[in-house]
Each structure stands twice: as C-alpha cells, then as structure tokens.
Amino acid sequence: MSNKKIISNNACVVMPLLLRLAAILLIAALMVSPVISPAFGRAAARQTNRDVKIRASAGVVMNADTGEVLYSKKGQHRYYPASCTKILTALVALETWKGDLSKVLTVSRNAVYGIDPESSHIALDVGERITREQALYALLLASANDAAVVIAEDAGGSEKGFAKKMNAKAHSLGLTHSHFVDPHGLYNKAHYTTPQDLAAIMQAALKNKTFVKIFSTISYTIPKTNKSKKRVLWNNHRMIRTKYYYYPGVIGGKSGYITKSRFNLVTVCRKKGMHLIVAVMHGSTAEDMVKDTKKLLDYYYDHYHAVTVPVQASGISVAGIKNVKTSLSGGSLSVIVPKSVSKDNLKTAVRIKHMRLPIEKGETIGTIDLMENGQVLASTKIKSAERLTIWDSSMFRIFLCSAGAVIILAALLAVTRRRKHAKPRKKKRK
C-alpha cells in the first residue's frame, strides 16, 4: 500500500472523530442557559405601595441614582406620552451632536407646516436660522414642536430617521414597552410608552450635564434672528421655583398633553440625600398631576431615607467570563429604605443571571438585593459596563486549546500509523 493511500485512510478515520470531538467541546463552551434563576428578578417588597392613592391612571416613583422602582401603579401599562417624548428627543440629539451645539440650523418648511398649528411652538419661520442649543431650549422649556422637527431633521436626517434613533436608544436602555414615531409626541397610535419607561428615560437623561442645565433653566432668551425678534422662553413645569405649585427640591421635569393622552408629568426632585423621579400619566387635569406628584414626593421624603451600604463590586463572573466590569463602582451603593430600617441590620446579596453571549454594554446581568432579616427591601440592577463576546469567554479559550490539542494528537496519530505501515526501503545493490 502506498504512503499516500495510508495517509488518506487515516484521514478518513481520524477527521470525523476530530470534528465530532470539536463539536462536543464547542457545544459545551456555548451551553450557558438563558433561563433566569429563581432568585433573580424577585420584586422588591415595596414596589407597589397601597398607602399612597393618586388620581392619575398610572404612575411610578424611581430612585434616580439606581433606577430602582419604589412605587408603581400600572407602571408598565402603555399610554401616549405627548410632549414628555421630548425628554428622549433631547437626549438622542445631545448624544448625536456630541457637544457641538453652536452649529446653525435652517428651519425647513416641514418644521413649520408639518405640525398641528394649534400645538405648542415658538413660531419659527421657513428659512429662519437658529443654533442647536437654541433649538434645545425651545424644545425643553417652551415644548416647541417646530423646534423638535428642526432637531430631528438635523440629528436624524429626517423625522423617520430620528425616530429610528429614538427606538434604538430606548432598546439600549432595556425598554420593551415603548415605541416612538416622531420627536414631539403629537398623537400617533404607534407612539407610546409607560410610566416606568418614561422615568427610565429621564434617569438616562440626567446623566447628561447639558440636558440637566437646560431642563432646569427658569428662562432663556433666543436673540434676534434673520426672521424674528428676540424670544424669551420660560420653563413651563409648575413645580419649579417661581411657580405657584413650587416644591422645594424640584429641579425640573417635563409635562405633556394632547386630547388622546390626557395629562402627563415627569418631575425630578433632589433633597434630603434622595434623588427621585416621579412620572404620572393619563390624568384628568394638569392640577391633578401636580397634586399627585406632590403626594408621592411627600410620602417618600417623610417615610424613607437614603443609606449607603458597602457592596462587593469586583470579581463578578457571568457567562463564563470572570471579573466583568459593571455599573457598580466605588464599592458602595446608595439605596432608599424606610426610616424604620437600621443600616446596621442591612445585608446585600448579589444575584447574577444565567446568560448567553454576546452581552451588550448596559445590559442587565443581575441584581443586588438589600435585605433585612431575610426580607428584600430594595433591588438594584447590575449592568455590564462593557460589551462581552465569546472571545472573552474562558470556556471558549478552553475549547480552542482542546481543539488544538485534538488536532495535534490526530496529526501525530496519522504520522505514527504512516510509519507503522510504510514498507521498508530496499537497499540498493552495489
């Protein structure tokens, strides 16, 4: 039998075995169950507090520092957000523009005539030139729908293009009950969100310093333009300072109303070491929304307080990857608990989900439960601070090493067999 035939036969025997073994190793490396462990996702004991009654159809109170929901009434029911949409519009635009707010924008015909003339606007004219920064102030202070379209056309190429960016941002925040089709919130059946998603959008926006500066401003003047005299804009949130319903600690927010959505209000308040977001939706009157918000703020500032507890922020492993960087930093966590709870009795438990790769940056990978006497008082999400892929997995590295070893073993086996079956060469006669 020739050497070539021996090698061919060995390959026919070894290669199928090699492929089967490699496949088994790969499956073992990738088999990470997507099922959430029973302990994960356990709701905090106080997410629905029956002690507080509000008139709005739905509402939530959120810890702005951690994203934990403290109170929920129909928190994940869908409603039309109206101009509360503009929180997300501003956030997406700011992230797209990356700090370049001085660029001059030209107002299109669509921005002027493409909106309901009876809706809120600042009377922009076709061909008028304003800066990105001026458009943002008009959006958040005066709730200007014409400015919303100008922003969308610049940051997204068109209203439809910008809506895609809005939905992509919502998806990146893990919001599964929201969908947006325009930058202003005028009625569209396919344009909706929930109180909890709306609060989460505000929480994300609060991380942007420029957003906070603009939405907390009392008044702003747009100087004379090529088409208009100067415009003085006033913040229309009813609970900020200088307003009749002023509530100490409120730094800003956003209201929204159209006939289909009824009244909506998002409010941010910081005092007594607690940073709260209140989102109430589908109310009967603007005054009711303010009273509901005040009632919720009063309850949590009167009966709860913020405590800082140490947490183990390092050494977290997920999907076979060790020492994953997470949203936890500094080794401590600020949580909001009832005033009756003693900090000395608090314990924390880290619960990590069973997940499949890839894991996106910002994706929830687990929770930290804050407990007293075995009862969960608060639950805060742990999010990945980096994108994780199969290439980061130690199991995949084991697979590569194992596959490499199998290939080397197979090659050695083939060589050994070839030598064993090779015919000895005849000595040449002299």
Q: What is the pLDDT of residues 172-217, one digit of tens each?
A: 999 999 999 999 999 999 999 999 999 999 999 999 999 999 999 9
pLDDT at site 24: 58
Lowest mean pLDDT among 123-137, 231-245, 377-391: 377-391
On the question of pLDDT at 41 being above 50, the answer is: no
pLDDT at site 160: 97
Percent of the chain predicted with pLDDT > 90: 57
pLDDT at site 15: 54
Q: Which residue has the higher pLDDT, 171 or 416?
A: 171
pLDDT at site 427: 55
pLDDT at site 409: 75
Whole-model pTM: value is: 0.77
Q: How many CB atoms lie within 10 A of CB 213?
A: 12
pLDDT in tens, 6-40: 444 544 555 555 556 555 555 554 443 333 333 33
pLDDT at site 305: 93
Give me the mean pLDDT over the 302-317 stretch: 80
On the question of pLDDT at 412 being above 80, the answer is: no
Give me the mean pLDDT over the 237-241 stretch: 92
The pLDDT-based confidence of 370 (bands split at 50, 70, 90) is confident
Q: In whole angstroms, how large is the CA radius of gyration of the chain?
A: 30
pLDDT at site 379: 76
Residue 358, preceding bond cis, omega within 30 degrees?
A: yes
Distance CA 308, CA 310 (A): 7
Give me the mean pLDDT over the 43-55 stretch: 64
Confirm if 320 and 352 have CB atoms less than 8 A apart.
no
pLDDT in tens, 66-111: 899 999 999 999 999 999 999 999 999 999 999 999 999 999 999 9
Lowest mean pLDDT among 11-15, 343-347, 356-360: 11-15
Report which listed range, 47-61, 71-85, 363-377, 414-428, is most confident.
71-85
pLDDT at site 387: 83
What is the residue-averaged pLDDT of the chain?
84
The pLDDT-based confidence of 328 (bands split at 50, 70, 90) is low
Give me the mean pLDDT over the 155-167 stretch: 98
Give me the mean pLDDT over the 264-272 stretch: 97
Q: Which residue has the higher pLDDT, 37 or 171?
A: 171
On the question of pLDDT at 361 being above 50, the answer is: yes
On the question of pLDDT at 425 being above 70, the answer is: no
pLDDT at site 396: 55
